Amino acid sequence: MSSTLLPKKTYFLLDASILFTTAYFKNLSFLCGVNPASKGERVKFVYMVVCIMGDFIKRVLGTLTAGYILMYYSELVFWAKYDPAHTALPDLFFTFLVYSLVTYGFFSVITMFRVRTLWALFLAGAVYGWLLEGVVVQTMYAHFPLQISFTGLAWHALISVLIGWYWVMSALKKSYSAVVSVSGLIGLFYGFWAICWWGEEGITSLGAFSLYVITTSVVLIGCYWVYHKLQPFSFEPTRIERVALAAFFVCWFVLGTLQVQPSAAVVLPPLFGLVYMALKRNRKVEQREDLIAALQGDINVKNYLFLFLIPFVAVVVYAFFLLSYLWIPTNILVYVITTPLGFILFIFSVVKIFQKSPPGP
């Protein structure tokens, strides 16, 4: 950028920015290779900072929208009703921030290890699920080893990541029929799963359930729309971001998780180690762009409207069970099916990645 194109008022703002940065870091030229005495270099530096901050803000917004999308399937669908203990607004906002941090880590794994296949994505989803259930909370160690799968693999990796993030994103890029299919299946599962709470916490009225599902789903559809509006979206966190995020979760694990569940020290690190080795192998053999980039593209705005089938079908299914006085322990059915499925998909994902040959010379 040529320094002669900027007015004097702009130079004053640039000078103030450079002086503040110099005072903060004590030695700007050492850190950034910028000579504060050169006006041209000052202009280039501020332009670089603006670009970096623009990318960072875009990453944050993308993570926040994706964080809600994943929280919707991981948290809101799971509880399936308004509950002051889990879904009250102040607590839900804090939960949303935690999910966004975990999503930032999940996206970092996708880009760092060039995750493109569903096998690699499931392992990235395992990281997402185990951070939630093995670090943030400690449910992963309650009924060892079954809880390794449910809910880290069986729900978070399978339902939230593979279906809620990948399948819906892929369908939105294709046609309305693809969106109708995935939305209908999600709504069917949602309504079917929701009745499981009748046996534990009583029946939620059709009106209360409908209000809960429709309200949270409207926000979900808005987040899908905003996420795609941020494109082109390149998620490339800086080294400082990656180190800070890793340090945050390590501190949480050491100062929080291990104090409650000391057994976590011999459970979680080996699992993360296995995932790391598999994904490191994936990075060597995968030459295509990662899924964050691959899922970008033009989307017909009308396709978003068909996502409203999620709450519509969920309410219809819920109403059917409610009006027919039919109750099934659907949580047991889901648990029996998805828990072994989570283990199977995890093993297959590791094996498939190690079986893939590296590219030739």
pLDDT the model gives residue 7: 39
Place of tokens 């939620």: 204
- Tokens (6 digits) for 113: 């290890």
* pLDDT score recorded for residue 20: 42
What stretches of the chain show up as alpha helix (H) in DSSP? Answer: 8-25, 28-32, 39-71, 77-79, 89-112, 118-131, 146-149, 168-173, 176-194, 198-201, 206-229, 239-252, 258-260, 264-285, 291-294, 301-305, 309-323, 330-355
Total-model pTM: 0.86
User: What's the N-to-C CA distance of the chain in angstroms?
Assistant: 40
- 81 near 202, Cβ under 8 Å? no
The pLDDT value recorded for residue 123 is 98
pLDDT in tens, 244-277: 999 999 999 999 999 999 999 999 999 999 999 9
Determine the pLDDT at residue 284: 95
Residue 54 has a pLDDT of: 72
User: Cβ of 146: how many Cβ atoms within 10 Å?
Assistant: 14
| Positions in the chain short of pLDDT 70 | 1-53, 360-361
- Comparing CA positions, the residue from 158, 155, 87 lying closest to residue 122 is 158
